Structure 1
Amino acid sequence: MPDSDEGCIVINKPSQQDAVMASFNSLVVENIIESIDVGLMVISHEGRIVYLNRAVCNILDLSCDKHIGFGWGELFITDETSNAEFNQVILDVINEQTIGLKHVVPYKIKGRECPKRLSITSSFLTDNAQTVGMVFLFEDITEIYNAEQREKRILSRNAELQKERIEGLDSLAQAVAHQVLNPTTVIGGMANIISRKLPEGDPLKQDVQIISEEALKLEGLVAAVRNYSEIPKPVPVEVDTVQLFNEAHENANRILKRIGESIEMKLECSVEKLFIGRTLFHIAIVELLLNASNFTPEKVTDVLVNVERKSGVIVIRIIDHGMGIAEHHLKHVLDPFFSTKAKGVGMGLSRVKKIVFEHQGQLKIESPGPGKGTTVTIELPCPDAECCVR
């Protein structure tokens, strides 16, 4: 505002301090922009390059002094194939005029054999609601991209090897089951015939009975191996999650009722639907519930089931408070034929593992130790990756 002094009108002018501060602010901004690793390119509304920082010149192999004022088209569009994806991003920004568009594209530099991988983020400069320019941020993510691709190749190869291993085991199991079942059946049958022909009180009768019982055990083992090898590929359908677990709970309790036991299941579920092979997955859940009951000394087993989306996967946890698992047993519990029960075949968790694997999932068993319960975790890929990112 003007100041009055003895009839004179004095107009305030910007002080020298204001000019110094403005110059200082400009210097700070310029130094920050020039020191960051992110490339910055500003293109005017007419398509001319008006600003390049040092980082973008290194990333795009440009000269900061030489290329200022160039039209972006004449600089980058040299033919129909060179850096087509890169150029399309620029065109999309111009046409769509959307703030915050982000793309990852290859960028080929002349004389360099392999293209870089760039992350490009776009925005606009506006003045009184009018677009006066476009701002592009460039990040060289070549090393990150290459590392991710290497990891994907390794994971893909490991998955192929695991699949080949499982298919090989299946073929071996089917062959062994077929070759062993016939002689086992004959041994058991002949032992029974001999036992019936022996007179009561004959000392050999008890020995023959032992042969018959062991042959019966071997038949059960062969049947378990055959069932494992014949697990089919799942046919995924949309399944109501709560209904699936309630039905599995009821089925497990029907089985346990024969021996006077039961399961009390508490279900915490935030995933409405699962995309799975219904019958196969039902079998797996029943097996896990029965396994929890088998290793709980009480007649009634408390089980907590939690189903949630987390980081792009669906996580299912089945938690019991039973006898737990000793540390030296943990690494073997998913192996075929491993069992700590005297009469156990040891194929239950192996079947569950295979069913989960056929759903492209992972199965993990954790226990703090004996007497501290067990947590079984199933991780399934979410059919809708975007909805699963939380």
Structure 2
Amino acid sequence: MTSFNSIIIENIIESLDVGLMVLSHEGKIIYLNKAVCEILGLNREEHLGFGWGELFITDEISNAEFNQVVLDVIMEQSIGLKHVVPFRPKGYVCLKRLSITSSFLTENETDIGMVFLFEDITEIYNAEQREKKILSRNVELQKERIEGLDSLAQAVAHQVLNPTTVIGGMANIISRKLPEGDPLKRDVQIITEEALKLEGLVAAVRTYSEIPKPQPVEVHVRDFFIEAGINANRILSRIGEAIELRLDCSVDTMMVGKSLFMTAVVELLLNASNFTPEKVTDVHVKVESIFKKVVIRIIDHGMGIAEPYLGHVLDPFFSTKAKGVGMGLSRVKKIIFEHHGKLTVESPGPGKGTTVTIELPCPENNCCGADV
């Protein structure tokens, strides 16, 4: 039965895609499976019994990181060490990327050998590198787009504000000089109102172009959103409306530029209220950690967004409100971008509510706790 069990174990090991190498306590190779021979370019019959050093350490340069793994295992005497290192098999031109996991064989609490698992992750590594380059390029393009929009916004603010102010001022002067009941008064009043709209547009554009870089500090998530709800309700109370905020937070803290990020969140809460017909808007805020990101979802049950509009709601100057300038969500998007985050807006359709999602990178110290 023991022999039969050994055959089963050996067949299983031989069928693995992961390479297995066993070294004796003296560093001699005592076992190689088929996969490790393919990964490392070895021949089982030829290389069994070789010492690690004489087989792999041919000079000080070739596969230095790879060889250092074994030295680390020997020096640190640790179980489960995992490394990702470059490796070039003898006679190969291209580098491979290997994931190496190491452990020890023990008997009666005495180390009798070392075990190494090798996985060829070259394709995965190359795919990740390509993805990083694409993401980096997309970030650069987004940055260029925002910088271009900033320049345009500043130019618009400068070139439009002065003539708009003159038009509004002159219209007011003419209106005061016209006698009461003159039919031209109404026409001049329209000019004044439109000039004020232009001034509002210029002010919104200037605010967008002057959004500063954030100075991140650690904030307590629950307290932050409670404060955001209070700030939003202070504004909404002027028109007899309010927000009922329901918080669902599994993240204790996050790193943001507090005042700047507060501006963005309050804008989103006000937007939820604006597109809800009820006087009191129910808003669900959910904050969680997913794959080393702080993910914030702001969910309302209001009028929703029709499919033709959904792809444009973050564009500057786009608005479905008669008196809207269309810069609110654009400002929010820029603030999130300055935090190295991502903003998305989703809606199943009219009357089905809207979900705004903010993704922020987690700091290196993993302030948001364990990932889901």
Q: Calculate the TM-score normalised by the size of structure 1.
A: 0.92
SS of aligned partner of 2:47:
coil
Please give the alpha-carbon distance, in whole angstroms, between the structure 1 residues aligned to 2:7 and 2:25: 26
Paired positions, count: 370
- C-alpha deviation, 1:385, in angstroms: 6.5
1:209 matches 2:189: yes
Deviations 1:219-253 (A, max 9, x none): 10011011011101101011122222122111111
* Worse-superposed segment, 49-58 or 149-158: 49-58
In the alignment, is the contact (CA less than 8 A) between 1:314 and 1:388 conserved in 2?
A: no
Mapped partners of 1:34, 1:308: distance in 2:
43
Alignment match of 1:248 (pick from 219, 228, 239) = 228
Match of 1:162 in 2: 142
- Counterparts of 1:140-289 in structure 2, within 5 Å, are 140-289=120-269
What whole-Å deviation, never above 9, does each CA across 1:34-63 have from its counterpart, x for those lacking one? 222211111000111111122111111112
Report the CA distance between 1:98 and its aligned residue: 1.7
CA distance in 2, matches of 1:332, 1:363: 13
What are the superposed Cα offsets for residues 151-180 of structure 1, whole Å, 9 maximum, x if unpaired?
Answer: 111111111111111111101110111111
The answer to whether the 8 Å contact 1:50/1:68 transfers is yes
- Quick one: distance in 1 between partners of 2:365 and 2:40? 33
Compute the RMSD of aligned alpha carbons. Answer: 1.3
Q: Distance in 1 between matches of 2:347 and 2:142?
A: 25
* Equivalent pair of 1:382/1:388 in contact (CA under 8 Å): no
Counterpart in the other structure of 1:312: 292
Q: Percent identity?
A: 78
- Taking the aligned partners of 1:140 and 1:35, their CA distance within structure 2 comes to 15
How far apart in 1 are the matches of 2:6 and 2:242? 75
- Is it true that 1:354 corresponds to 2:357 in the alignment? no
Deviations along 1:269-288, whole A, 9 cap, x unmatched? 22221100011011011101
Task: Give the equivalent residue in structure 2 for 1:389.
Answer: 371
Secondary structure (helix, strand or coil) at the match of 1:258 reads: helix
Q: d(CA) in 1 for partners of 2:10 and 2:246?
A: 61
CA distance in 2: counterparts of 1:70 and 1:90, whole angstroms = 15
Q: Is the 8 A contact 1:123 1:136 kept in 2?
A: yes
Gaps of 5+ in 1: 1-20
Contact 1:40–1:138 (8 Å) recurs in 2? yes
> What per-residue deviation string (whole Å, max 9, x for no partner) do you get for residues 3-54 of structure 1?
xxxxxxxxxxxxxxxxxx3333332222222222211111000111111122
8 Å Cα contact 1:99-1:122 kept in structure 2? yes
Partner of 1:111: 91
Correspondence for 1:73 among 43, 47, 53: 53
User: Take 1:144 and 1:264, find their aligned partners in 2: how far apart are those partners?
Assistant: 46
Contact 1:41/1:49 (CA < 8 Å) preserved in 2?
yes
TM-score relative to the length of structure 2: 0.96
| Paired residue type of 2:371 | V
Question: Which of 380, 384, 387 pairs up with 2:360?
Answer: 380
Letter in 1 for 2:310: L
Distance 1:152 1:244, change over 3 A: same
Q: What's the offset of the Cα at 1:198?
A: 1.4
Structure 2: stretches of 5+ with no match in the other structure: none
Moved over 4 A (4+): none
Q: CA deviation at 1:110?
A: 3.3
Contact 1:311 1:388 in 2 (8 A): no
Q: Residues of 1 paired with 2:298 and 2:188: CA distance?
A: 44
In 1, distance between residues paired with 2:97 and 2:289? 31
Match of 2:345 in 1: 365
Shift of 1:384: 3.6
Q: Among residues 300, 311, 315, which one is paired with 1:331 in the alignment?
A: 311
* Deviates most, 121-130 or 208-217: 121-130
